[in-house]
């Protein structure tokens, strides 16, 4: 499987000539999901869900389909009948040849005064886990964790403990648009030294073979 990092929380996975894109949001470069055979969205926040990005992907490929939670599906399903699927915790499905399991129900706490929304994570082919905006432990061995490294709702000790709890073989940073280059060495050093897994980072557009 080929992993390509897009800006912020978006990634593209490719195998057998087909591609799956997760969380093309407003921070992600335009057209990040164009050409995808399937798109997954974890929740409704604009840095993960951008309606223009989704419409561009579904219009560019008439066979492309979207899997997401209800709050997102309701915004685009009417324009693409039969191509938008609503999922929740415990569901399993196949998208563009990838086997996907859904884990998690709620967004992480940003502040007690802010109501929590629904958030789901996706375990792809039993090996790659994208948790969206939550520190969900999937209850399944994970080879590659896509790690939300910097967000308004987390701190580095929680990120490190999350890696320890999931116990992946490797963790690639995502959710990093707010992390400055000045701070990256601190995060790289502490997560790498304390997380207990190989800690890796891709620049937007860079790829790795998993």
Residues 32/98/196/174 CA torsion (nearest 10 deg): 10
Residues contacting residue 209 through CB under 8 Å, at least 6 positions apart: 1, 2, 3
Which two structure tokens, joined as six digits, stand for 60?
A: 């560019």
pTM over 0.95: yes
Using pLDDT thresholds of 50, 70 and 90, give the confidence band for residue 136: very high
Give, rounded to a whole angstrom, the gap between the first and last alpha carbons of the chain: 5
Mean pLDDT of 166-187: 97
Give the number of domains in the chain.
1
CA distance 29 to 23: 12
Beta-strand pair 92-95/84-86: unpaired
184-194 and 156-166 are packed helices; what angle lies between their axes, rounded to 10 degrees? 40
The range of the structural domain enclosing residue 35 comes to: 2-209
pLDDT at 28: 97
pLDDT at 209: 98
pLDDT at 160: 98
CA distance 108 to 119: 8
- The string of pLDDT tens digits covering residues 2-52 is 999 999 999 999 999 999 999 999 999 999 999 999 999 999 999 999 999
CATH code for the domain of 122: 3.60.15.10
């Amino acid at each position: 499987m080929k992993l390509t990092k897009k800006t912020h929380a978006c990634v593209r996975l490719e195998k057998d000539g087909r591609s799956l894109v997760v969380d093309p949001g407003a921070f992600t470069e335009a057209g990040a999901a164009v050409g995808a055979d399937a798109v997954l969205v974890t929740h409704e926040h604009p840095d993960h869900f951008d309606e223009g990005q989704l419409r561009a992907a579904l219009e560019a490929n008439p066979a492309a389909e979207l899997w997401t939670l209800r709050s997102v599906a309701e915004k685009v399903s009417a324009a693409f009948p039969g191509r938008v699927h609503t999922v929740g915790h415990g569901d399993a499905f196949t998208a563009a040849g990838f086997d996907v399991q859904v884990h998690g129900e709620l967004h992480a706490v940003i502040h007690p005064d802010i109501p929590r929304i629904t958030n789901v994570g996706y375990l792809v082919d039993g090996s790659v886990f994208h948790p969206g905006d939550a520190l969900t432990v999937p209850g399944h061995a994970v080879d590659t964790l896509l790690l939300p490294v910097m967000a308004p709702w987390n701190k580095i000790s929680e990120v490190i403990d999350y890696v320890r709890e999931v116990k992946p073989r490797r963790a690639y940073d995502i959710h990093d648009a707010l992390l400055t280059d000045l701070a990256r060495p601190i995060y790289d050093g502490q997560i790498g030294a304390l997380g207990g897994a190989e800690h890796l980072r891709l620049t937007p557009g860079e790829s790795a073979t998993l």
